Chains A and B, each alone.
Chain A
Amino acid sequence: MIAIDVDNVTRIYQKYSARHRFKTFKSALLKGDLFKAMRPDEIVTALDSISFQVKKGTTFGVIGENGSGKSTLLKIITGITKPTSGKVSVKGKVSALIELGAGFHPEISGRENVYINGIMLGLSKKEIDHKFDDIVRFAQLEEFIDAPVKTYSSGMYMRLGFSIAINVNPDILLVDEVLAVGDASFVPKCLDRIDDFRRQKKTILFVSHDLTTVEKVCDRVAWLKEGKIQMIADPKRAIDAYLQDIAEKQEKDFEIRQREVEQKVKEEEKKEEEGEDRREDRWGKKEIEITEVKMTNLQREEKHVFSPDEGMMIQMDVFAKTRITDFVFGIGIFNSQGVRCYGTNTHSEDFEPQFIEGRGKVTCQIDQLNLINGTYYLDVAAHKRDGYPYDYHRSMYTFMVSSKYKDVGIARPDHDWSFSSSIRIKPPHSKSG
């Protein structure tokens, strides 16, 4: 049985605002263009011919970047906005966890707000009477329920909102990003409740940026991009495709940024044609010059966004004007806080320099990056054994690590988990009951 059927839905937003700021009612009346003023001057297609079906009893995830149409989709399913064309049919009572506590009035008590919010979400007064204690208990607000809502902390506010919405006891639950703001103890409780819903074979539409949770709770996932469905697949495939796409996009942004930086470097170099190069991020007399630095993956494809499991090759083109016998090549990786995550050079790894003359290539291969999410800066250098710099490039190169894990720290050592049989724990990506 199909619980949510979205059939070829298109939603076009007409932007009036820019024009309205200047041409308002008075001018509309004076110039007689009341109806002209009502015409939109910009059209945005938020959803473009979207079709999908959610089977009853399943959890359906929607992922996508900001502005990809996720929230519009939810609003259309709840009926708050109407599709410009197409049809949505929903079987059963819908409750939306879109914004918790929307419509709470700060001046009146939590108790009264529970009633008003409950009625707005489609409960009758009797049903609220019946569920009132549950709502308050789940929100852990027994002591404060008669205090005005304005005295609540934002956490209390959210708990009450969530508690009401979840107690509406819907057939279909729409969840939009609400868990992103909860505190550490409340979020698991909410997830538990959502799990209860799954066990009761209710339908859930789950919209989130938290890909780990999406992968954990969803049966199927749709990936939205610029108002179109890119893919509907099992969670792992959809999320991987989405991450891949993000990485490609970041790559492009990076190239643009990199090019700008290079441009600047060139300009500055022009300014200081003569003499020792002593710009802040590059110094040395260039007896050995590092002419180009490339970051590639192990397949030698140049890129700037890496996954933690991926390898990296740092390739330097070097040029020595004369024969030099005392030289060291080094690299350093810094994170955005300036912490050195790793640094090494040929000297500290006991390479013995013999000589260098003319053009050459130096490659440092890292088999697995093992870094956490974030932006990193790369130092490369050629110097004497005693530290005298030939050419030192300070944080001139940037790369990113895009990881789906939420681990913390500086590095990500290779690791594995195992448990004795007395411990029951679900491994990632697997699904049961």
Chain B
Amino acid sequence: MLRLFDNLKTVYKYRVLIQNLVSRELKARYRGTVLGFLWSFFNPLLLMIVYTLVFGFIIPARDPAFQGNPLIYAIFLFCGVLPWTWFSSSSIESANVLMVQGNLIKKILFPVEILPIVVVTSNFVHFVFGLPILFFFVLILIKKLTVYVFFLPLVILVQFVFSLGIALLVSSLTVHFRDIKDILSNLLTFWFFATPIIYPMTFITIRENPWLEIFLNLNPITHIMQGYQNCVFYGEMIRWKKLGVTFLFALVLFILGYYIFDRLRESFPEEV
């Protein structure tokens, strides 16, 4: 535990590097594209349109919360897809990051955990770029953006810690077990559908099946996504208890991830 604080202190010393690397990531990602930064807006928007078409028109949304309106359903989707994209991109990218940056790890001395941290942070910035779009559509379609929006930072914090935990765990283990990359991409597809993103927890089949409800509630991301939906879509108070437990869980995951990362640290220069 003491080591963890020492490590965190070192990382804090390197905050300028993190900042520079994040801005490098952001610049490099869209360098050469015509739309540039706008892709941060368009990617989730296009994804949302696809989901809306499928679940709004082909398989109609049947939950009363959507008032039978595919556009309202689209907002609900956007509420979940946006943070989910942050989470899944961070996880997939961090599975690769130590290998991609292997040259750096072998040649320059710096706290390597910076690399997964940069991955999570730069994806977070993309997520933040998407938020204004979400707010904009909420305002024109639902015409209601409540004060509960100000609880959003808390939800984001929980997700940040959770994503960091996964990123540290995945990035360090993938160095030794390259299969994790493939396992992870499949797992994430499953995880996506096991989280109330395209359906609300109030959906009739879930309410009728207590096992399913328990299963979904055991998924920590469920509570994070519900946090977003509560704050933005429903305009309600966040569920303190559930989110609090999720935060504790995320914290434990972070400590565990960091611990494993630290244990494997010395093997990185040889194995990446």
Contact = CB atoms under 8 A, between A and B. Distances in A.
A112 B27 contact: yes
Contacts of A13: 270
A25 B31 contact: no
Contacts of B32: 107
B24 A79 contact: no
Interface stretch (B62-70, B80-88, B107-115): B107-115
A103 B20 contact: no
A197 to B, nearest CB: 20
Contacts of B270: 13-14, 81
A124 interface: yes
B11 to A, nearest CB: 14
Looking at chain B's contact residues, the main secondary structure is helix
A201 B112 CA distance: 33
A185 to B, nearest CB: 25
A102 B101 CA distance: 10
A193 interface: no
B202 interface: no
A26 B269 contact: no
B183 A116 contact: no
A189 interface: no
A191 interface: no
Given A25-B179, A75-B269, A112-B27, A80 B106 contact: yes
Contact of A79 (B17, B109, B178): B109
A115 B20 contact: yes
Nearest to B178: A24
Interface residues of A, number: 33
A103 B179 contact: no
Residue with the highest number of chain B CB atoms closer than 10 Å, among A14, A102, A125: A102
A82 B28 contact: no
Contact of B28 (A25, A99, A108, A120): A108
Contacts of B28: 105, 107-108
B152 interface: no
B102 to A, nearest CB: 10
A190 interface: no
Given A107-B28, A119-B16, A16 B108 contact: no
Interface string B122-152: 0000000000000000000000000000000
A102 B177 contact: no
Interface of A: 13-14, 16-17, 20, 24-26, 28, 38, 75, 78-82, 96, 98-99, 102-103, 105, 107-108, 112, 115-116, 119-121, 124-125, 148
27 contacts: A13-B270, A16-B176, A17-B271, A20-B178, A24-B178, A25-B176, A25-B177, A26-B183, A81-B269, A81-B270, A82-B266, A96-B107, A96-B108, A99-B103, A102-B106, A102-B107, A103-B101, A103-B104, A105-B28, A107-B31, A108-B27, A115-B20, A119-B20, A120-B17, A120-B104, A120-B110, A125-B16
